[in-house]
Structure 1
């Protein structure tokens, strides 16, 4: 033990004195000199998590690891196997030597590996492609591609200074049922930008025209003219502004009288194909948030207006809004339309308000209310300043009431005729009689039979009568079989227990309400931030200059070659010709 300890002391004295260490040699020629004929040097093997993180490598003296720290990565975490040194901000892989064959041949290459062999730069310098010694395409250091302009500030920038559309996409295969255009955007910039800056352009001018004519040459096919798919967690799949969202709305922003989005469906009739519908807009949402959310930030404008005025046959039904929400009764509710407002949740009316057969609000099943059922009208004695409200009488039974006033004859007997449908719509009648001007109490001398009953009282006496009957028509019996109207006290479904229809009445918070919906409440509270205004995408002046100065062929040359699908060509060319004529 003493011997080894002595050797250790000598070793450290040698290191401290000479600042050189030799392994396998007594004459080190460097700070560390390793000599061996049958063994190698084993660098520490680690599993790097990513190239921008020091971990799992640590500095034993604490703090950041020193620049030039060397390790061997084992190939995990999608990082290539090899030697890496710490460059101060990231791990840098040591490159292998370049052989004479590691170059691109003008006659082509064989044996290349797509993941390692490439044409381009390894530093932050743009890649330029030229013809006739003139720049045609540029890929900048950020990966943006510019065609016809040197300043590519978006993922794909195409400079067009001639007449016609800025971009033309054609799906020429009539048997192709795919989309006319698909743009995937997974980054934080513009996937594609098309700018139109002609202040005198007509309303027929367009930044992008996609003409997908699936009926060319009597064809019946065709896929989607445009597909927009967004896989990111931020931003919208499509965002449309009528005006500049970077400044406040108003006349200083835009005075346009056109809609922000106009969609037309020119097919007629109903779709005969199962699963298809001839709608102008179809939306699908798999989240718990709304399929569509509209917000009007004006001082006095509606959120949604729907008009329908079709030519229909007598007896046909047309609907401005049809809503349906199915549910599993034991798990929740299906609410087709939810109205929540500061004053009136739902207002219904008809174009012929005076017609007795029309209803401003009609329920095809039961109707109910947590509060009272009432009517409110202009006050008959002061209609311009006051309202008059009356309330419905409520009962633990479903009742019909029939009432009237009669006068007995000299015999003291009077017969009352009820509506001829009384027996078909009522059961279990009860009676109430009140004499007027007499102390003699009248009585029912004959109960209802053949829709008539008889009252006996004092002769020549005025009597007020009322009949209360349990409603018993076929429609009522059908709904009673579903809900048992005679059962007034019921246990709440398991999903409602522990909650209240009106929690405020019991001093509870709204969150304890049966119909409380956290997602809907969140959308309401954040309604102003939901309708956010994002900064408009504006072109830098240098890019505008590049667009204006780049030479481009005229749009008419695009259709100079003969075409077999003349119908499709003519339809696109007519748009181009119209634009050239207007210019």
Structure 2
């Protein structure tokens, strides 16, 4: 073996020991100290193994030089020259003192096993780093305050990993599995999606932003956000100052929020104390066209239905393809029911009109109207008011047809408890405002607070 090759291999091995520190076991034993023999006298003399420092089988000038560089007068290894101490070295040059190969070949550490430690003398894993680890994406020295890379470390009670550019002091994106398979957190089988998070309790995924979107989902052909639960809410939204759940759609004939259920499709509940609180609100911006709400099927309101006006609308019977026919409701200050019919008087010019058996249970304060049909009947009158669910007519001609009408005021338990007040003072926060300010020559801005258009949330990011 030539001396130059032997020298190069020794230096590389010792450099590796210096860089890895005590975490990498020495692969080459420390040379044996020469005796007091003056090795320079052995040239050319008999072979003395203690003077063969480069272990090439002979004693030459290289052995003398190495001996002078590596050993002190007392026979202790000094680490001078190209040598390296296993207990640490000073005055190193990182441009030439490094671990690696110069021919692009692989560098193998601990091929026979054992742990490698950095920042620790007791590594507990094949590669054990104590302290923050920095993996740079370029060769810029980190202490100079430049370079891009990934930091892995631990601070306080929290571990962290992040990408950063110290050249511009800005955070950078951190990509996982790009491209690649799924990423799992707290699971060994991440089959639920690109990011699969499992939690046995508490919140699996939490998003928070001080001035942006906490969690955003997007899909070009499917649901942007999907929530599922076996025993609670599939999706929950909450806000302390804005809308808890916000849905927006730019598609024609579509919906911003859509609810589908075997029982209740969409439900709104309020638990505040404001007099204008609303469980569900539909807002058409006050436009005369379009609708704030549209219901297919029967609609049931438990409570009082307040409205500015009311009507039915059907296809016009004479031109159903091109026109509507609208009729207004009949209004009353009372909870009034109207009943009517036609009676035929008997031979005595009288008749008894039978009413439903629930009539008096529902109604009170009856009012009557009679109209003779076919001839005048100035003597026509109510012979008996409603009693036992019937009333009597008399004073007409035998066989005469009489149109009758009876009205009654509801007095069932609900009506008695929730009687509609005919006149009512506006609450303090509504005084000075109007349901229809334009009708009184006032600005639209003076509408009742409850009728003002809801503030539009920020558009979808």
Q: Provide the TM-score with structure 2 as the length reference.
A: 0.60
Matches within 5 A, 1:15-414: 121=142, 123-126=144-147, 140-141=165-166, 154=172, 156-157=174-175, 164-165=181-182, 167-170=183-186, 206-212=193-199, 214=200, 222-230=201-209, 232-233=210-211, 235-243=212-220, 256=221, 258-265=222-229, 267=230, 278-287=232-241, 289-309=242-262, 318-328=263-273, 331-341=274-284, 342-350=289-297, 360-370=298-308, 372-414=309-351
Contact 2:181 2:194 in 1 (8 A): no
Correspondence for 2:414: 475
Contact 1:414 1:455 in 2 (8 A): yes
Q: CA deviation at 1:168?
A: 3.9
Instruction: Output the CA distance in 2 between the equivalents of 1:499 and 1:129.
Output: 61
Give the number of aligned pairs: 312
Counterpart of 1:209 in 2: which secondary structure? strand
Instruction: Output the CA distance in 1 between the equivalents of 2:440 and 2:150.
Output: 76
Contact 2:313 2:325 in 1 (8 A): yes
Q: CA separation of 1:155/1:464 partners in 2, compared to 1, >3 Å: closer, same or farther?
A: same
Show CA shifts across 1:182-231 (max 9, x none).
Answer: xxxxxxxxxxxxxxxxxxxxxx794322234x3xxxxxxx332212222x
Matches within 5 A, 1:441-460: 441=378, 442-460=380-398
Contact 1:283 1:291 in 2 (8 A): yes
Q: CA separation of 1:241/1:319 partners in 2, compared to 1, >3 Å: closer, same or farther?
A: closer
Give the alignment partner of residue 464 of structure 1, picking from 379, 394, 403.
Answer: 403
**Which consecutive residues of structure 1, in runs of 5 or more, have no partner in the other structure?**
1-99, 101-105, 109-117, 131-136, 145-151, 173-203, 215-221, 244-255, 272-277, 310-317, 351-359, 533-583
Greater Rg, structure 1 or structure 2? 2
Q: CA separation of 1:404/1:156 partners in 2, compared to 1, >3 Å: closer, same or farther?
A: same
Instruction: Output the CA distance in 1 between the equivalents of 2:177 and 2:425.
Output: 70
Show CA shifts across 1:306-335 (max 9, x none).
Answer: 2222xxxxxxxx32222112342xx43111
Q: CA separation of 1:205/1:333 partners in 2, compared to 1, >3 Å: closer, same or farther?
A: closer
Instruction: Output the CA distance in 1 between the equivalents of 2:377 and 2:119.
Output: 124
Higher relative contact order (CA 8 A, sep 6+): 1
Q: CA separation of 1:226/1:429 partners in 2, compared to 1, >3 Å: closer, same or farther?
A: same
Q: CA deviation at 1:300?
A: 2.5
Instruction: Output the CA distance in 2 between the equivalents of 1:259 and 1:154.
Output: 29
Correspondence for 2:87: none
Q: Provide the TM-score with structure 1 as the length reference.
A: 0.48
Instruction: Output the CA distance in 1 between the equivalents of 2:150 and 2:446.
Output: 66
Q: CA deviation at 1:507?
A: 2.3
